[in-house]
Homo-oligomer: A and B are copies of this chain.
């Protein structure tokens, strides 16, 4: 993967003098993918500004394309577009985070229950291989890859469930969860899930939809619990933090 765009990048890399590549259409797709990945992987953190000119020169295109991509990201709730101010990586509030998790519990529990009724051994195998990759990333303490794979696992569940509409919802929710984690996770914690993903697979193997939904609900509450803790720490009370010396 070539250079991920940082916010104020060394912009003096012309990259394509307008005649290098045929670049006709589908360029914005690639650029969207790169910025999306950079946000999801926490290479660009919440509230960071996404300046149009900087991105345009970084990717070697005009602001037109960048604006299109930014608007798409805004609709995906990964970017806040503030009129006359610019684009910023979204910074979901605590309340918003709560609602995202509530929505995930609703949607994903339904999906996993539905999936249990139709899942094939083949599909379970695919999920298991994702789980194995996740375990590998855990072993190598590759935090970024693990977060990525954890999201992929949920997304694969949604895909296999066979409802494209709801899969779209899950994709958005998983992305937003990644932002929430970037904002609110306590730095040390999160040896989370992993075994819970395994539990979900077990329930699917037994074709026990109710159990699968129960495990999923527990799993999501678990993730949220690890994060909601950050509710307090974020409100720094300066008067207690910096006590008068007197």
Which of B26, B72, B83, B107 lies in contact with A107, CB distance below 8 A?
A: B107
Q: Does A71 sit at the interface, judged by CB under 8 A?
A: yes
Residues in B whose Cβ lies below 8 Å from that of A163:
99, 102-103
Q: Chain copies in the assembly?
A: 2
Q: Map CB proximity to B onto A134-167 as digits: 1 under 8 Å, 0 otherwise.
A: 0000000000000000000000000000011110
Tell me the smallest distance from the CB of A102 to a CB of chain B, in Å.
Answer: 6
Q: B102 contacts A106, CB within 8 Å?
A: no
Which of B26, B68, B75, B166 lies in contact with A102, CB distance below 8 A?
A: B166
- Given A68-B71, A71-B68, A165-B25 contact (CB < 8 Å): no
Tell me the smallest distance from the CB of A64 to a CB of chain B, in Å.
Answer: 9
Closest to A100 in B: B165
Query: How many angstroms from the CA of A67 to the CA of B136 in the assembled complex?
Result: 45
Question: Quick one: which of A6-51 are within 8 Å of B by CB?
Answer: 25-26
Which of B26, B83, B102, B165 lies in contact with A103, CB distance below 8 A?
A: B165
Residues in B whose Cβ lies below 8 Å from that of A71:
68, 71-72
Q: A166 contacts B103, CB within 8 Å?
A: yes
Q: A25 contacts B99, CB within 8 Å?
A: no
Residues in B whose Cβ lies below 8 Å from that of A26:
83
Residues in B whose Cβ lies below 8 Å from that of A169:
103, 169
Query: How many angstroms from the CA of A110 to the CA of B103 in the assembled complex?
Result: 9
* Given contact pairs A75-B75, A96-B164, A103-B165, a sample of 8 additional A-B residue pairs in the complex whose CB atoms are under 8 Å apart: A25-B83, A96-B165, A99-B163, A99-B165, A103-B163, A103-B166, A107-B107, A169-B169
Q: Provide 22 A-B residue pairs closer than 8 Å at the C-beta atoms, listed in order of the A residue.
A: A25-B83, A25-B84, A68-B71, A71-B71, A71-B72, A75-B75, A96-B164, A96-B165, A99-B163, A99-B164, A99-B165, A99-B166, A100-B165, A102-B163, A102-B165, A103-B163, A106-B106, A106-B166, A107-B107, A110-B110, A165-B173, A169-B169
Q: 4 tightest CB-CB pairs across the interface, nearest first?
A: A106-B110, A103-B165, A99-B165, A75-B75
Binding site for B on A (CB under 8 A): 25-26, 68, 71-72, 75, 83-84, 96, 99-100, 102-103, 106-107, 110, 163-166, 169, 173
